[in-house]
Amino acid sequence: MQGRVDMTQVFASNERFALVGVVHLLPLPGSPRARHFAEVRDRALRDAEAYARGGIDALLVENFGDVPFRKDAVEPHVVAAMTLVVDAIQRATGLPVGVNVLRNDARAALAIAAMTGAGFIRVNVHVGAMLTDQGIVEGRADETLRYRTMLGATVQIWADVLVKHAVPLAPVPLEEVARDTVERGLADALIVTGPATGRPPDPAELARLGQVLPGVPVLVGSGVTAENVRRFVSLASGAIVGTWAKVDGLVHNPVDEHRVRALVNIVRGL
């Protein structure tokens, strides 16, 4: 199975700072705050189309509303629901789309991406282990990469380095985790976040990764706003934007097309 979108266009050149908009799904059926699937799908489509009209480069679909998250495998109906939503979003927008199955079901994300032709998945813990609110979450890079080979998929793996809402079990330099993620976990791109949703990473950390792993795409994974995006453009290949793109900058609100366009215009004008 081949992805419909060549993901190299997301990072079209060293001068292009890619913006990836997060489609936060409402709670899926079966989750503690469940909504009807039709409501989940319709809201996701409206958010995706608002991002597209605002000029975003790509989209990332995640089951954000399904708190509290399972730390690894999700139920089959979650995979089915997300597959339908991802396919609908791709058909509606024509944009490159990625999948993140929270908290860390890389296998499910890869299956969804491979079946729908999505271009990439996000994996919160790809190598090593992190202490999270779900307990200890372990990376399964070996299983993920072998599953991708078995499917014959061209799906890229975008992996977090010391992901938000988590801490390592023992102190470890960011650079060492990044090297292991790329060289031993074979990740295609890295994501660096702040400590929590809506909080940005330290620009110095991005600068250090650029020196250690030149040529590897690194994305800012949280906290990007119109006020701070300029400081990241020279340090990263792009940013994953969610909270700031919502109405009033509140994560549970719908996507605000005007805020998206404002952010895009800032980046394109630099």
Q: What was the pLDDT predicted at 196? A: 83
Find the CATH number of the domain harbouring 238. Answer: 3.20.20.70
d(CA 123, CA 258): 29
Is 9 a member of any domain?
A: no
Per residue in 118-138, pLDDT tens? 999 999 999 999 999 999 999
Query: For the chain, what's the residue count?
Result: 270
Is 145 a member of any domain?
A: yes
Is 1 a member of any domain?
A: no
Q: What was the pLDDT predicted at 33? A: 97
Per residue in 20-60, pLDDT tens? 999 999 999 999 999 999 999 999 999 999 999 999 999 99
Residue with tokens 């700031």: 244
Percent of the chain with pLDDT strictly greater than 70: 95
Q: What was the pLDDT predicted at 1? A: 38
Query: Which pairs with CB-CB distance under 8 Å and at least 24 residues apart come from 138-144?
Result: 139/104, 139/185, 140/106, 140/107, 141/184, 141/185, 141/186, 141/187, 143/106, 143/107, 144/106, 144/107, 144/110
Is 8 a member of any domain?
A: no
166-168 β-sheet, strand order? 135-138, 129-132, 166-168
Is 219 a member of any domain?
A: yes
Domain count, the chain: 1
Predicted model pTM: 0.94
What mean pLDDT is reported for the chain?
93
d(CA 241, CA 223): 7
Classify the C-alpha dihedral 32-73-223-95 as positive or negative: negative
Is 7 a member of any domain?
A: no
Q: pLDDT under 50 in the chain at which residues?
A: 1-5, 13-14
**In which domain, by residue range, is 242 found?**
16-268
Q: What was the pLDDT predicted at 10? A: 73
Contact between 20 and 191 under an 8 Å Cβ cutoff? The reply is no
Is 168 a member of any domain?
A: yes
Is 252 a member of any domain?
A: yes
Per residue in 51-71, pLDDT tens? 999 999 999 999 999 999 999
